[in-house]
Amino acid sequence: MNKASKPTLDDVAKTAGVSSATVSRCFNEPDRVVAATRERVMRVVDELGYTPHFGGRALASNRSNTMGAVIPTMENAIFARGIQAFQETLAEAGVTLLVASSGYDPEREFEQIRALVSQGADGLLLIGSSRLEKTYNFLRTRHIPYVITWNVCAETDCFIVGFDNRKAAYALTRKVIDFGHRQIAMISAASEFNDRARDRIEGVRAALRDAGLSAEQLPIVTVPYSLADGGRAFEELMQGSPRPTAVICGNDVLAAGAITKAKEIGVRIPKEVSITGFDDIELAEVVEPKLTTVHVPHRRMGEAAAKILLDIRDGKTECHSFELETSIILRDSLAPA
């Protein structure tokens, strides 16, 4: 072993006076090696600072102990919590997580998925269900297990751990209407490649319709995902006529941006205008007034996704998709019209 390079299994084996197979078994099937030998080997492992070479292992065993996740962005707290839980659950099973972000670009998502797969990801966590056809083709022909999160969808041949964005948005809008609001507007993330945003919009529209309000002329401002975007959108809506008395936001970040902007331009929340969010991230409790929003069990979603992927890897087929419940959290930003 060249001292500038990593020690290998063989180095350990030679130093410990055993065969490389025995060293390998110390790592993979410790029970099959007698304690005395195992301890001696492990001592040498420590001494040499040996770490198994991932490539060699993946090549020989055809397993990588790696899962991948492609999320739209890491900057947004909305995904952070779920991914953190995903990672923790995987880590418990000795599996490493590879994270990549697509920047909400489907083409980039495709590339990232390819990259993760060739990195050896045994399975993938994906956000939502709207992606390029070729992406699905790739996943299918390569038999990559994946679980779709953050939404439920019609496709039945894939694993899903999500919640019903449409239903949740419907319930929330219902609540807003029950508070007496009739002039309702919406701030949404771009929905072109974002089924969560699309479903939320649909939910709002459906609730409006069912309440006998015009769903077609629901004012919607579509923006990217930052706080500042939410503020700008809010300002635009305030210039509309008739001015909305309630603004339903596609997520908490946009809602927080809207509230912050409202203060700047002197619109009192919730006295003049009510605002609602979606996700119930920490931010929702920090803004003043506190945000009425839809609580999403992000952590449970991440954990469940991890478990499903691990089950698939271990050949347990009993694992199935399931839908998590959301709930409406009433706080101060929603008040009677």
Partner DNA sequence: TCGAAAAATGCAAGCGCTTACATTGGCCGC
Partner DNA sequence: GCGGCCAATGTAAGCGCTTGCATTTTTCGA
Binding region for DNA (CB under 7 A):
5-6, 8-10, 17-22, 24-25, 27-28, 31-34, 36-38, 50, 52-53, 55-57, 59-63
The closest of 294, 325, 324, 266 to 176, measured between CA atoms, is 294
Q: At its nearest, how many Å lie between DNA and the CB of residue 39?
A: 10
Q: Which residues pair with 66 in a beta bridge?
A: 96
Cβ neighbors of 123 (< 8 A, separation 6 or more) are 67, 68, 144, 145, 146, 147, 309, 312, 313
Q: Which does 22 bind (CB under 5 to 8 A by kind): DNA, a copy of itself, none?
A: DNA
**Closest to a copy of itself by CB, 117 or 152:** 117
Picked from DNA, a copy of itself, none, the partner binding residue 10 (CB below 5 to 8 A depending on kind) is DNA
Shortest Cβ distance from residue 269 to a copy of itself (Å)? 11
Q: Which does 27 bind (CB under 5 to 8 A by kind): DNA, a copy of itself, none?
A: DNA
Say which entry of a copy of itself, DNA, none residue 315 contacts (CB below 5 to 8 A, set by partner kind): none
- Pairwise CA distance, residues 150 & 251, whole Å: 13
Write down the least CB distance from residue 287 to a copy of itself, Å: 5
For a copy of itself, the closer of residues 203 and 302 by Cβ is 302
* Residue pair 283/75 in contact by the 8 Å Cβ criterion: no
Measured from the CB atom, the residue of 96 and 222 that comes closer to a copy of itself is 96
User: Among 169, 108, 156, 111, which Cα is nearest to 129's?
Assistant: 156
Rg, the chain, Cα only: 25
207/201 Cα distance (integer angstroms)? 10
How far is Cα 307 from Cα 304, in angstroms, rounded to an integer? 5
- In the complex, which residues of this chain contact a copy of itself (CB under 8 A)? 4, 6, 49, 51-59, 64, 66, 73-77, 80-81, 83-84, 87, 91, 96-101, 114-120, 137-138, 141-143, 226-227, 253, 256-257, 259-260, 263, 282-283, 285-288
**Two tokens, residue 327:** 């709930």
- 321 interacts with, out of a copy of itself, DNA, none, CB within 5 to 8 A per kind: none
